[in-house]
Amino acid sequence: MRNPTSEQHNCLQFNVWKGLATKYRKLRREAEGDNRQLCCIYTCQTATIETLRKLLLMQEQLKQTLHYSNKYDVQFYFDADDVDLLVMQRLRGDLGQVYADTDHALVSTGLGDNSSPCSITNLTRITDTTSCIDVLLSRIIPFDCKIVGDAFWYEVTKNDVENRVGRGKPPQKENAVQSFIVEMEQDGSPVKIQFRYATKRVVDGHREVVVFSGQSQVLEAFGAAIGSVRCEEKHWFVLSEISPGVTMVKVCMSRVVNFDCDLTFCQPFVDRTIQMLAKQKQVGFEALLEDVEKRLMAGCL
């Protein structure tokens, strides 16, 4: 005769073991899935590190290619007169449209799809007296995007006119105006250029954008005083995260150069001036980037 109590005990024991076996199989499947996922992450991270190593090597080679022996001495003045302030107020009013053109600038120049360090200069003759210089650059900086953005903004705005009128601290606002003169040496001859800029910083979720609306004038070049070369400028600096702790910086600098003189017999002067202005843009950005990298490495943010 069967013992009901014994049968219930055996049935309960069977169900317990069955449940444990089911749970074990489930945990094993989850562990195997987690292991596969970790293997994928490891493979992906290894590939990312190797890609980053190659890109940084490419970037270093690019920097060496772009190294120039020109001497640069940036002189800032902050006692802007009424004309300066009026011009900079107009430039500040243009910033909204410049920012709205950010994506168009990236797409039209090909920078939007670029994912490696580059340096490209495009020179376009519009009319006999007008030419356009487009300087396109991209760089990889192995720091967090926000930290890089803060460093860029500090270096860009540390000589803000309105800030200098105040207490000399970097402006905390998201826009700035600047008026300064750059003195450099080009092929043994002094060059002096006056710049006026309005600048704006926008953080729009997945990226940071710094835009410039500017005006410049060549005051001296090739051993002579010059007052006939004026430029209108628009710049876009776009910072985005390509992987955790790694930032891609894309820069599009557009400069329209107008020659207010009879150029019938001056084409060599025009060509030389255009080449000088294009080189100044490249070297100017490299100097800014060097200051940013020094600031990041020093941990001064």
- Which residue reads 């790694």 in tokens? 246
What does R_g of the chain's alpha carbons equal in angstroms?
A: 29
* Structure tokens given for 42: 């490891």
* Residue scoring higher pLDDT (120 or 3): 120
CA–CA separation, 199 and 154 (whole Å): 12
In the prediction, which pLDDT does 77 show?
54
CA separation for the pair 178, 159 (Å, rounded): 7
**What DSSP element (H or E) covers 140?**
strand 130-141
Annotate 263-275 with b (16+ C-beta within 10 A) or e (fewer). Answer: eeeeeebbeebbe
> How far apart (Å, rounded) are the C-alpha atoms in residues 42 and 36?
10
Arithmetic mean of pLDDT over the chain: 81
Q: Among 173, 88, 140, 143, which Cα is nearest to 251's?
A: 140
Listed residue (208, 231, 184, 215) closest to 292, CA to CA: 208
- Give the residue, 19 or 217, on which the prediction is more confident: 217
**CB contact set of 297 (below 8 Å; sequence gap of 6+):** none
Tokens of 19: 């449940």
What are the tokens at 29?
């499947």
Q: Report the percent of the chain where pLDDT is more than 70.
A: 77
Summarize pLDDT for 196-245 with one digit per residue, the tens: 999 999 987 789 999 999 999 999 888 788 888 999 999 999 999 988 88
Residue 272 predicted with pLDDT over 80: yes
Tokens of 36: 């596969």
Q: What pLDDT, on a 0 to 100 scale, did the predictor assign at position 133?
A: 95
What tokens does 293 get?
A: 């990298």
Average pLDDT on 35-53 reads 72
Confidence grade of residue 271 (pLDDT, cut at 50, 70, 90): confident
Checking if the pLDDT of 255 tops 90, the result is yes
Model confidence pLDDT, tens digit, residues 158-191 = 877 654 444 444 445 688 888 888 888 777 778 8
- Please tell me the predicted confidence (pLDDT) of residue 69: 47
The closest alpha carbon to 94, from 199, 178, 209, 237, belongs to 199
Backbone angles phi, psi at 80, to 5 degrees: -60, 135
Which amino acid does the sequence have at 59? Q
Bridge partners (DSSP) listed for residue 73: 183
pLDDT tens track for 91-149: 989 999 999 999 999 999 999 888 888 889 999 998 888 999 999 999 988 889 999 99
Distance CA 121, CA 65 (A): 14
The predicted pLDDT at position 166 comes to 44
3-state helix, strand, coil in the chain (%, to 5): 45, 35, 20
Q: Is the pLDDT of residue 150 over 90?
A: yes
Band (pLDDT 50/70/90 cuts) for residue 299 is confident
Place of tokens 């557009």: 254
Is residue 111 within a helix (H) or strand (E), and if so which, with residue range? none
Instruction: Indicate the residue type of 95.
Output: L
A 10 A CB-CB count for 114 gives: 16
What's the CA gap between 301 and 287, in Å, rounded? 19
pLDDT at 67 over 70: no
Pick the CATH number of 70-298 from 2.60.120.10, 3.90.1170.10, 3.30.470.20, 3.30.530.20: 3.30.530.20
CB distance 145 to 249 below 8 Å: no
The sheet carrying 130-141 orders its strands as: 72-76, 175-186, 189-203, 207-221, 224-243, 246-259, 130-141, 118-125
